Amino acid sequence: MNSKFGRRVATACALTAGGALALTGCFSGGSGGGGSTDDARISVAMLQPPNAGMSPFSDDIGKLTRLSIAETLVNLNTDLEIEPMLATEWEQTDDTTWVFTLRDDVTFQDGTPFTAETVKNSLDKAVEAAPPPRALNGVEISTEVTGEYEVTITTDAPDALIPNRLASGQLSMFAESAYGDDGTVNPEGTGTGPFVLTELNGTTTATLDRFEDYWDDPAILAGIDVSFVPDGAARAAAIRSGEADVAETIPVSQVSLLDEGQAHEVEMPRTTMLALNNSDGPFADPAVRAAARQAIDASGIIDSVYEGQADFSGGLLGPAIPWAADLRGDVSSDVAPAKVDGVPITIATYSDRAENPEILVQLESQLEAAGFEVTQDVREYISLETEMLDGAFDAVVYSRGTLLDTGDPLSFLAADFSCDGGYNMTQLCDENVDAIIERGSQAEAGPERQQATIDAETAILQQNAVIPIVNERVVQAETGTFVDIVRDPLERRLISTETKPAE
């Protein structure tokens, strides 16, 4: 860790563009580090406020899993392996049929029993949701009760990723009382996790208490007090003042203001890259793409924009995907770079991610030094998305989670770099890449699928279709008043049954 992380600052307030932001009263509970373990409560400052009342069928699902309110049939661990959760075992009985055996000792937080009937109800509601959970993209499932604690899931076509799909938080299990006739889902007191959501105050705070009848070892903590704090400086200030015990996603600019030992870097399965338009304009020429790749120095961007808090692995899949570096071979191109002298290019990016415009400034300097003439187009994402996907620009700086909802990086490569990919900024359409992706998609999660993923990544990078810039990290801040807070690269876990006050 850089020594600048250790600089102490006494202030307890954060400054925003609009002036001083007072933190007093922002948090629903104070630090729970004192008192006995049985009554200790932890205070959490979360990045994004709920936008759909904590419905699992929305982006709010991350809050439900990070706060241990909701659980799925299976769990995706940090090694990207599927392990039991509410299901104890599963078996694929033919190409389209999966049988899941369920735990028989689980009770929902409203007191009703967890059975195959409730699993079918939760999965049926997910299928009926509009839009349906992202993890179900590309597959249709139906669920049948085949025993009191057994469900059979059938797909419309062979699908090797059913266990991965069921690990998505959007397919969490809730009691029947959670589901309204109007399609809404109320997670208050209806999940199976070790903490019960007892109160949600709009977009400001939430209160959780320990679920005493949890099926596994109950939580050590008595509860969690959550404040939703979109401003990064305010989250950092809450850690400095002790109003929060843990805070999500501290901006790079705030890390140096935290006390030594409070900032914890977590490698993320997220990559920022420069997508080159392979079908139209200057970058349709492989030699011009090679010239762009030769001109770009990612290390300078890591040092200046990220202040060293990012990685460059040489690939699209970064250190958070543990097997990628070991399997990756030579991804260099054998195409000689063209001499570019005054070649005009337009590069777009979106301002929603603060680093992107800064990265574009650095890329402009590097590419112009090589002979390109760069025009920038920086707007909010919502106004750029259609044009980016339609190939309206010569290049796009964008940030992308490489595991999507299934924990499967091959799905990311298929979406972003195949002929039929729905998020193909590069406009790449290559028969070899598609054939590799198709081969890998038939394999179960494991070595064969991993190798196909790296083979596809190699085929993409050797064409200079896209230029990786950084593999990102996130900084999670903790005061040290509690231990065993989860530092999860998948951002699915934060507070667990083992989180407890520091001794």
Q: What is the pLDDT of residue 445?
A: 84
Instruction: Using the predicted structure, report yes or no on whether residue 28 has a pLDDT greater than 80.
Output: no
Structural domains in the chain plus CATH codes: 3-69+193-262+479-501 (3.40.190.10), 74-178 (3.90.76.10), 267-473 (3.10.105.10)
Q: What is the pLDDT of residue 337?
A: 97
pLDDT interval class at 26 (50, 70, 90) = low
Tokens of 474: 């996130």
Burial label, 330 (beta-carbon count in 10 A; 0-12, 13-18, 19+) = exposed
Give the whole-angstrom CA distance, residue 339 versus residue 172: 54
Q: What is the pLDDT of residue 10?
A: 28
Lowest mean pLDDT among 127-131, 396-400, 454-458: 127-131
What SS3 class is residue 176? helix
pLDDT interval class at 218 (50, 70, 90) = very high
pLDDT interval class at 27 (50, 70, 90) = low
CB 194 within 8 A of CB 214: yes
Backbone angles phi, psi at 258, to 5 degrees: -85, 155
pTM here is 0.80
pLDDT tens-place string over residues 418-453: 999 989 999 999 999 999 999 998 888 889 999 999
pLDDT interval class at 8 (50, 70, 90) = very low
Tokens of 445: 């999660």
Instruction: Using the predicted structure, report yes or no on whether residue 495 has a pLDDT greater than 80.
Output: yes
Which residue has better confidence, 351 or 339? 339
How many angstroms separate the most distant Cα atoms in the chain?
71
Residues 48-71: what's their mean pLDDT?
91
Residues 53-76: what's their mean pLDDT?
93
Residues 210-230: what's their mean pLDDT?
96
Q: What is the pLDDT of residue 355?
A: 86
Give the whole-angstrom CA distance, residue 167 versus residue 82: 8
Got the DSSP string for 123-172? HHHHHHSSSPPGGGTT--EEEEEEETTEEEEEESS--TTHHHHHTSGGG-
pLDDT interval class at 404 (50, 70, 90) = confident
